[in-house]
Copies of this chain bind each other. A is one copy, B any other.
Amino acid sequence: MKKILNAPEAYTDDMLRGIYAAHGDRVKYVNGDLRCYCTAQKVPGKVAIITGGGTGHLPLFLGYVGEGLLDGCGVGGVFQSPSAEQIFEVTKAVEAGAGVLYLYGNYTGDIMNFDMAAELCELEDIDTRSIVGADDVNSGAPEVRRGVAGIFFMYKAAGAKAAQMGTLDEVLAAAQKAKDATRTVGFALTPCIIPEVGHPNFELKEDEMAMGMGIHGEPGIWTGPVRTSKELAAESLKTILDDMPVASGEEVALLINGLGATSVEELYILSGDVTAQLKEKGITVARTFVGEYATSMEMAGASISLCKLDDELKGWLDYPVNTPFYVQK
C-alpha cells in the first residue's frame, strides 16, 4: 500500500485535523468530535442542509459544506457511515430555526443512521426531511440505486434554494427536482485500498476495467478490456438516455467526475467525446463540470452524469458557492 499517512487507523482523524488547520476560519467541529463537521457561518432563518457518509470520497461529502451549499456533515471512517449521534450533534449545531434537510447517498448504513438522527431531532422539535441520492443507473432499479457523483446536482439545487431563503419544503422540492433529472454511469480502471485493510478491495487485470462498478468497489455489469473514450461515452450515454429520455432540442448539464487517479487530461478527452455525441443527438450541453467531485481515493476511472435542465435548474446550478473545496462564481 502506497499512501501518505502516519497510521492506517488515524487516516480519517489525521485528515480532519489537516482540514481544520487549513480552513478553521470557515469550518469547525462540535461536541469535541472531529467528525461532527459544521460551517462556521450559520445563517439565521435559513434551512440547514446536512449530509454525511464515509471518508474516502473527497470532496464528497464534507467538501460541499460552505456558502451556497451545505451546512454540516457527519464524517464516517473510510467507507463507513457516521453514527446517528454524530449526525444529531451536527444537526443541533447548524439548524437555524427553519428546519433541516438530510441529503445523502442511498446506502443502508447511512439511511439507518440518518433515520435514527431524525428521530432524535423529533424529540427536540427539530423539523427534518430526508432525501437520498440514487443516480447510479447500472446499480439497479430506481429505488435501490446507489448515490454517486450526481448528488452534486442535488446539493447545488437544494443549496441555492436554501440560500435564497426557501422553506424546508421548497428546499426538499429543489433537491427532488434535481434528483429526478439526474442519472450517472461510472466505470473503474483500478481498485483502491482501504488504509486499514492494506490491500485492494477487488482485482482488475492489466488492461481490464469494470463498467458500472460502485465507488466502494461494488460489482459492475461487465468486466473486460479497457475501451476507448468514445466507446465509453457511447455506452454510458445509451444507458443514461434509455433510463431518462432527453429529446433533441433539450439541454443538459454534464458532470465528468474523476474517481481519483485518472488524470484531468483524460476527463477532458471523455468530456469532449460525450459532448460531441450528445450534439449528434441534438442535445446541447449547456453547463459542463469536469474534475474530481466524488472520488474513491486512488481508484482510476470516471463517471458521467447528466442533469436535464430547465431555467430553474440552470439558475440553481449557476448560483455562486464558496467552500474550502469548491468555489463557483
Contact = CB atoms under 8 A, between A and B. Distances in A.
Question: Quick one: copies of this chain in the complex?
Answer: 2
Contact of A295 (B263, B275, B300): B263
Of the candidates A21, A189, A206, the one having the most CB atoms from chain B within 10 angstroms of its own CB is A21
Contacts of A56: 263, 265
Nearest to A12: B265
Contacts of A1: 207
B4 A276 contact: no
A322 B4 CA distance: 30
A58 B327 contact: no
A184 interface: no
Interface string A129-163: 00000000000000000000000000000000000
Interface residues of A, number: 61
A317 to B, nearest CB: 14
A6 B271 contact: no
B266 A5 contact: yes
A80 interface: no
Contacts of A328: 327
B269 A14 contact: yes
Of the candidates A15, A18, A58, A302, the one having the most CB atoms from chain B within 10 angstroms of its own CB is A18
Of the candidates A7, A261, A322, A329, the one having the most CB atoms from chain B within 10 angstroms of its own CB is A261
Given A2-B190, A6-B230, A18-B275, A265 B11 contact: yes
A225 B16 CA distance: 26
A189 B190 CA distance: 16
Contacts of A223: none
Interface in A1-52: 1-7, 11, 14-19, 21-23
A56 to B, nearest CB: 7
Contact of A275 (B22, B264, B325): B22
17 contacts: A3-B189, A3-B262, A4-B270, A5-B229, A5-B266, A6-B269, A18-B268, A18-B271, A21-B271, A21-B285, A21-B288, A22-B268, A22-B271, A22-B272, A263-B297, A264-B295, A264-B325
Given A3-B226, A22-B288, 11 more contacts: A2-B190, A3-B262, A4-B266, A14-B229, A18-B290, A21-B272, A22-B275, A56-B265, A261-B261, A261-B300, A322-B329
Interface of A: 1-7, 11, 14-19, 21-23, 55-56, 58-59, 189-190, 206-207, 209, 226, 228-230, 232, 260-273, 275-276, 285, 288, 290, 292, 295, 297-298, 300, 302, 322, 325, 327-329
